[in-house]
């Protein structure tokens, strides 16, 4: 992460951080890329907490035909939400082409 302190020192407020969007459909797939994506999301959440950035923005899918919702993806979401609650970070899910992954 770049130094958000520089932004604060310049009088700016960092309201949120976006998680990576490339390869986000791996979130729903049992593979090393899905595991790495979850780890990256958790690191970003920890960065938010460390730098007092209140919100982490997450995209749960990409395109109009993402992998189906499944228990693995839901478990990953639960992991993120549980950690976010402990770290006092809001998680915002946004900009999905389809809404089934939010339901």
At 86 the three-state DSSP class reads helix
What are the mean pLDDT values of the chain's consecutive 10-residue runs (103 residues total)?
A: 75 89 93 96 93 93 89 96 96 79 72
The separation between CA 8 and the C-alpha centre of its own chain, rounded to angstroms, equals: 22
Euclidean distance between CA atoms 103 and 69, whole angstroms: 10
**Residue-level pLDDT at 2:** 60
Q: Please report whether residue 98 resides in a domain.
A: no
Q: Please report whether residue 59 resides in a domain.
A: yes
**Residue-level pLDDT at 21:** 87
Cα Rg, the chain, nearest whole Å: 14
Domain interval for residue 54: 4-93
**Residue-level pLDDT at 7:** 81
Count: domains in the chain: 1
Euclidean distance between CA atoms 58 and 56, whole angstroms: 7
Which pTM does this prediction carry?
0.86
């Amino acid at each position: 992460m770049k130094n958000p302190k520089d932004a604060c020192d310049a009088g700016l407020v960092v309201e949120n951080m976006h998680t990576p969007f490339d390869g986000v459909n791996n979130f729903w797939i049992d593979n090393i890329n899905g595991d790495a994506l979850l780890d990256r999301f958790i690191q970003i959440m920890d960065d938010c907490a460390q730098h007092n950035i209140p919100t982490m923005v997450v995209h749960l899918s990409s395109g109009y035909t993402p992998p189906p919702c499944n228990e693995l993806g839901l478990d990953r979401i639960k992991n993120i939400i549980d950690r976010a609650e402990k770290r006092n970070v809001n998680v915002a899910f946004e900009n999905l082409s389809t809404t089934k992954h939010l339901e």
